[in-house]
Structure 1
Amino acid sequence: MDLTLVTSYDASPEEVFAMITDVTFQEQVFERLRARSYDVEVGDSGDDRAVRVHWQTQPVDVPVVARRLVGHSLVLAQNKIWHRPDVDGAREAEVDGEVSGAPVRLTGRTRITPEGRGTTQSFELHVTASLPVVGKGLEQVMADAVRIRLEKKFEVAWSWLAGSL
């Protein structure tokens, strides 16, 4: 299952990168999501910058036959490895994630690019589940959880950049 999201910010790529790699910013996103629990780590990985998040969703509509694997909520782990900027300030990150207790994977890329006086951030993600019968349902549940987190992240980012957080 593919998941594509795009948003724009009224800030430079450098400001957007500083924001999305800030632990406090990431924690604000999880607070707004009302995540049951979460953990955020940001650190250097050679020349790259790694952002690792681990969170548990509120109870979600997990298919009945999959509940014995994951329960009524999802525990997700996601890693982004941000690479050095291009000459114009654009950056790209590889995204990798999983659901605890189930063979469900998230892979893809996110990119921040300058656009006029602002910046665009795009996500091109792919969710796969290697389970017969319930795989497509789990893909949908994970894709929904990631989409909701990203949409909430966009809201927090707009407030953060406007100085209202």
Structure 2
Amino acid sequence: MCPMKSITEKLTYPGTTIDQVAAMLADPTFREQVADYQQAERSSAEISGTGAGSTARVEIVHGTEHVPSFARKFVGDEIAIVQEETWTSDTHADVLVTIPGKPGDMTGTFDLAQVRDDVVETVQLAVKVNIPFVGGKVEDLIAGLLSKAFRAENKVGQRWLAGS
């Protein structure tokens, strides 16, 4: 059995404060704009509060036309990704990402830090897929998709925070 795949992304929001980034992440409209930017087939965002004790549940559904054929037979015609965040402070969230009905999950953290005039969000996730023989390939695929999704969120977030 191979070790699970992990991803780390450092996302910078220039010229902002933690309060501004936290407010953005707590806005369902922002989450919907991220899904639109990713050309999701459909999405939803349920967010409760901001800061410590807040939660977010974001579901984004993508088509699988760009998914390799070996993985498409496991995920079907579409792939739903559910991201659940539990914010334990204004700057830290525990994260669980699942693909409903499919084996495996992604667990990790989001951390916000003020670095001079910027906010840096560090995303750390471990990807685990329980499919014999091809689990490692599927883990690599999912890790790549998630990294791309977080970078897309960062692009949308930079525009959002700049007021455009």
2:6 aligned to 2, 9, 13, which one?
A: 2
TM-aligned CA deviation for residue 116 of structure 1? 0.9
The Cα of 1:117 is off from its aligned counterpart by: 1.9
Deviation at 1:7, TM superposition (A): 1.8
Distance 2:20 2:160 in 1: 11
Runs (4+) of structure 1 moved beyond 6 Å? none
Residue 58 of structure 1 deviates from its aligned partner by: 2.8
Letter in 2 for 1:26: R
Q: How far is the alpha carbon of 1:146 from its aligned partner? A: 1.2
> For each residue in 1:95-123, what CA deviation from the matched residue of structure 2 results, as whole angstroms up to 9, or x when unmatched?
10111231120000010011112211111
Aligned mates of 2:81, 2:59 — CA distance in 1: 6
CA–CA distance in structure 2, aligned partners of residues 102 and 62 of structure 1:
16
| 1:70-129 deviation digits (Å, cap 9, x = unpaired) | 1143211110111223xxxxx100010111231120000010011112211111111001
Does residue 147 of structure 2 align to residue 147 of structure 1? yes
Greater displacement, 130-139 / 120-129: 130-139
- Give 1:44 deviation, angstroms: 4.1
> Which letter does structure 2 place at the counterpart of 1:35?
A
Secondary structure (helix, strand or coil) at the match of 1:40 reads: strand
Matched, 1:78 2:75: no
- Equivalent-residue separation in structure 2 for 1:94 and 1:118 (angstroms): 22
Match of residue 109 from structure 1: 109
Secondary structure, in 3 states, of the residue corresponding to 1:101? coil
Q: Which runs of 5+ in 1 are unaligned?
A: 86-90
Give the alignment of 1:4-153 within 5 angstroms. Answer: 4-9=8-13, 10-44=15-49, 47-59=52-64, 60-64=66-70, 66-85=71-90, 91-153=91-153
User: Deviation at 1:63?
Assistant: 4.4
Kept after mapping to 2: 8 A contact 1:55/1:75: yes
Contact 1:70 1:100 in 2 (8 A): no
Which residue identity does 2:7 align to in structure 1? L
Report the Cα distance in structure 2 between the residues aligned to 1:123 and 1:33, rounded to whole angstroms: 18
- Any stretches of 5+ residues in structure 2 without a counterpart? none
Identity %: 25
Worse overlay, 113-122 or 22-31: 113-122
How big is the shift at 1:8? 1.5
Computed over aligned residues only, the root mean square deviation of the Cα atoms, in angstroms, reads 1.8
